[in-house]
Structure 1
């Protein structure tokens, strides 16, 4: 990270004060000369009898500050009268005070610079993620050369600021819930040591709780929640097993002094029957291994190292298996999670699981459904309800998709508890961070069902989604959660997948080459319990080998199927529909694998080496215009033109950068294919886009691969469109002039 030099800082802080001092003494004769490496200051002072006396004073300094200081020390050497002596003394004191103030100001400035620099310091993480003997690459083969990125490149660090963890409240909550294994029920308890802080003087504490419930069916089933009547309690209350989540309120002297929420995982007859039935039918003597998927949105592998070094170092130091060549396969969270949970690509996912149609997601073959059908307890939790993966511009689930579903609680909590926002998202929710509810839910599942198999997905958005710096404040907290999994024995009996979906997709760092690579390379670590490593040493070997192989979300999907096979409850699994060649990560991935083999389109592939080319060339301009035509046609035809009249036709403003990769000549057809990646700006909306286009030289034909990425924020630009498919491309103009309804983009 670059900073201004200290000498420059000295001048900028002290110059105004020093200039004022010089102006006060314009009547003095001064001589200032440089000799060797020292300043010699020789003021000449005239006495009353016309004699002059000179004195030379050496100071071992070459700084501007010291030069001025030496001049001040040698001023006022006239032989004074009594009156002038008093004035001179007062003047000297005044100057001394000013100079002292300037010095303090300078020291404060330097200290601030040091504190700021230390907050952004490069905290080293010791790891061996690159190919042995190939320090600059995460993957190196004939078909894949995936570069390793420096976490601390200057263009990124100028936008990164390490942040400190701040608790959401200085107060402790008044209530808590605890599961009683004897009764099989949760108890709601008042922390007696906190009562005095929530009771008004001379008053009593009156508390009650409400059960949070899904309120309606149909299209609003995953949106609307309600509260039961408020049931009073004194010091404690045994909660019914029909209550998944509660809201607690307390009053003192008729004024509410406390409100908080508690999610739970109560025992249910259907869950217990399922577990018992599979135990009876299971011929295996050992319990099937459980699966925990712990996710953080929008964190690249490199930003995990940069922003969360303690978490990263914990993973590297404690035998977690890193998949450093893990490459995303789609733009945002939805396609990447759907590849993991269903094995579908985005096109098939929108066709078979149609998230905008009522009940379609309920019928979708999610892995949590498969695990539940084979005797596992299931859970899913995701914070920031407004942008949940299956709800943002989608209908969500008509029925709870898993046994324990946190969304109803979070909707109610976001509405009833105090909110603190950070980067536009609800960072604090009542007494704790939004993400705490997610990871506490994971701990609760693994603790409550320690003796039974379970599958859970726990996904946090709020501290990572919108800024590369935000997650740095949660570094120690995330490390502590991982330690809790170990401390509670969860790691002894569970496979844990700690991962992200992609890196930062927009923002100031995204236009750089490092930002391009970061977006495509999320982090992914796998933990194997010791017993499984001992019984299957081939799994350890495979994960060690796959560290430096090209992998993707489809592989993770096949790994989940493989884990289910290990339970003995399913036969051989079918290949992933989105990637028939993809495989479990518990077996070695072929070294010769290409992005085509892994069903990763050129636009998302990090295996292809590109070279920078002249952005003003004819072919680049042609490709830029073709890409914009692609955007215009997409919007014009989207859902039979239903949004066309709201979106302006885009045109090229400028190309910012251009790169080319040569695929080579097809020997069978003698056709040359080149791949171009360009970043360009459109008008009238100043949209910043990135496109990857395959260009066939002989036929002069072009094809957009993947989708065209939007690199700057577009929420306000596309406010007139609510469908995610067209939102990143639509520019909502104020007039009807130049709209798609009136003018369609020409075919490219």
Structure 2
């Protein structure tokens, strides 16, 4: 097992707090199963993984020993296990990579049925296995738990979500699964690494030109949003001094109706220029050129840094058009990509701590 010396976590009588908690639940499960009573057991472990990726190795070993011990003692023969994370790493350099973005939105999930479950309850294990390759949400885990109650006790429910024991459509969309755009990576077209952001070819790539301006316009909207949040705190925040330092990445969010390879290739090949020096007003964008772009994309995932403190942020911005003349926008939550605990010591106002 990996050493805990570098992780600086609480230890009592040679055992860390997670080991003590797992030991407690192991005894609890043994007592309950010997009484032959049904039970629901929920554990929420965050200490080793919330702020330090090194803790994953320690937790992996502890969970392996925990489940291995229960299995060897025959304690999980009639127990359905779900092991999952609520989200991935939210801060630090890994978060600013595509892998980090995906992990943050698509946490780990294991669903392990008990022995003979599919035979005993006349369920289709092929459907269950096929669903491992489908779009799944926490709503579906909830639905599965209710489904298990229905199978065993005849309970009924009308909640949203699809049970993992039922067929999940291969063409399921984020909208139909109740996933908001800022947590949906299904329709992304990656415009990174930053070196892709070169000068627009001869200035003649009109689609790239106006997409570039929309990206810059989106970042400006985010900056204005942050300045608006901080406007009442000028006595501790350098509101007027905030300005864009660099765009780290921009990801196009395509519409669900983008199905042709030609359109996808066109979007992926856009030679985006994010080195637009001046702020962009919506009046700077020729709206007669926008229908093609708007027909294929509905927004961006943008990451950028401010000066003077060079802190990284990410936001999702959705654009849509109305009456062919106006661009409306919806800025989703603005996430800091750097830890801000130390930087925010000057205020106790939670709303402005990230900024």
- Pair 1:506 & 2:91 matched: yes
What is the match of residue 711 of structure 1? 337
User: Secondary structure in 2 aligned to 1:656?
Assistant: strand
User: Secondary structure in 2 aligned to 1:494?
Assistant: coil
Question: Kindly tell me: are residues 655 and 488 of structure 1, through their superposed partners in 2, closer, same or farther at Cα, counting changes over 3 Å?
Answer: same
Instruction: Check conservation: 2:313, 2:336, Cα contact below 8 A.
Output: yes
1:625 to 220, 226, 235: 220
Whole-Å separation in 2 of the counterparts to 1:501 and 1:606: 16
What is the match of residue 178 of structure 2? 599
Whole-Å separation in 1 of the counterparts to 2:57 and 2:148: 33
1:555 is displaced (CA, Å) by 0.9
Whole-Å separation in 2 of the counterparts to 1:554 and 1:645: 44
Larger Rg: 1
Whole-Å separation in 2 of the counterparts to 1:499 and 1:534: 25
Whole-Å separation in 2 of the counterparts to 1:723 and 1:615: 40
User: Secondary structure in 2 aligned to 1:610?
Assistant: strand
What is the match of residue 286 of structure 2? none
Whole-Å separation in 1 of the counterparts to 2:139 and 2:198: 35
* Segment drifting more, 587-596 vs 649-658: 649-658
Instruction: Check conservation: 2:230, 2:352, Cα contact below 8 A.
Output: no
Unaligned runs of 5+ in 1: 1-163, 169-419, 731-748
User: Secondary structure in 2 aligned to 1:718?
Assistant: helix
1:535 to 120, 123, 128: 120
Whole-Å separation in 2 of the counterparts to 1:534 and 1:631: 56
What is the match of residue 165 of structure 1? 2
Question: Kindly tell me: are residues 615 and 626 of structure 1, through their superposed partners in 2, closer, same or farther at Cα, counting changes over 3 Å?
Answer: farther
User: Secondary structure in 2 aligned to 1:464?
Assistant: coil
Structure 1 vs Structure 2 CA RMSD:
2.8
Whole-Å separation in 2 of the counterparts to 1:483 and 1:562: 27
Bigger helix fraction: 2
Instruction: Check conservation: 1:611, 1:661, Cα contact below 8 A.
Output: no
- Pair 1:696 & 2:320 matched: yes
Whole-Å separation in 2 of the counterparts to 1:531 and 1:664: 40
Instruction: Check conservation: 2:149, 2:155, Cα contact below 8 A.
Output: no
Whole-Å separation in 1 of the counterparts to 2:149 and 2:237: 47
Unaligned runs of 5+ in 2: 200-211, 259-290
What is the match of residue 559 of structure 1? 144
1:474 is displaced (CA, Å) by 4.1
Whole-Å separation in 2 of the counterparts to 1:532 and 1:664: 37
Whole-Å separation in 1 of the counterparts to 2:308 and 2:37: 58
Question: Kindly tell me: are residues 631 and 429 of structure 1, through their superposed partners in 2, closer, same or farther at Cα, counting changes over 3 Å?
Answer: farther
User: Secondary structure in 2 aligned to 1:509?
Assistant: helix
Whole-Å separation in 2 of the counterparts to 1:441 and 1:715: 33
Counterparts of 1:462-541 in structure 2, within 5 Å, are: 462-541=47-126
How many residue pairs end up in the alignment? 297
Whole-Å separation in 2 of the counterparts to 1:647 and 1:542: 55
Whole-Å separation in 1 of the counterparts to 2:112 and 2:132: 13
User: Secondary structure in 2 aligned to 1:505?
Assistant: coil
1:446 to 17, 29, 34: 29
1:712 is displaced (CA, Å) by 0.8
Counterparts of 1:156-195 in structure 2, within 5 Å, are: 165-166=2-3
1:573 to 154, 157, 164: 157
Whole-Å separation in 2 of the counterparts to 1:644 and 1:491: 58
Instruction: Check conservation: 1:559, 1:584, Cα contact below 8 A.
Output: yes
Whole-Å separation in 2 of the counterparts to 1:487 and 1:595: 40
Instruction: Check conservation: 1:615, 1:658, Cα contact below 8 A.
Output: no
1:431 is displaced (CA, Å) by 1.7
* Segment drifting more, 495-504 vs 426-435: 426-435
Bigger strand fraction: 1
Whole-Å separation in 2 of the counterparts to 1:473 and 1:444: 22
What is the match of residue 14 of structure 2? 431
Counterparts of 1:646-685 in structure 2, within 5 Å, are: 647-649=237-239, 650-663=242-255, 672=295, 673-685=297-309
Instruction: Check conservation: 1:510, 1:711, Cα contact below 8 A.
Output: yes
Instruction: Check conservation: 1:615, 1:656, Cα contact below 8 A.
Output: no
Whole-Å separation in 2 of the counterparts to 1:595 and 1:723: 33
Whole-Å separation in 1 of the counterparts to 2:96 and 2:169: 32
What is the match of residue 614 of structure 1? 197
What is the match of residue 40 of structure 2? 455
1:476 is displaced (CA, Å) by 3.1
1:619 is displaced (CA, Å) by 2.5
Whole-Å separation in 2 of the counterparts to 1:614 and 1:504: 26
User: Secondary structure in 1 aligned to 2:316?
Assistant: strand
Question: Kindly tell me: are residues 454 and 632 of structure 1, through their superposed partners in 2, closer, same or farther at Cα, counting changes over 3 Å?
Answer: farther
Instruction: Check conservation: 2:117, 2:123, Cα contact below 8 A.
Output: no
1:492 is displaced (CA, Å) by 0.5
Counterparts of 1:310-329 in structure 2, within 5 Å, are: none
1:522 is displaced (CA, Å) by 1.1
Question: Kindly tell me: are residues 562 and 633 of structure 1, through their superposed partners in 2, closer, same or farther at Cα, counting changes over 3 Å?
Answer: farther
Query: TM-score, normalization: structure 1?
Result: 0.37
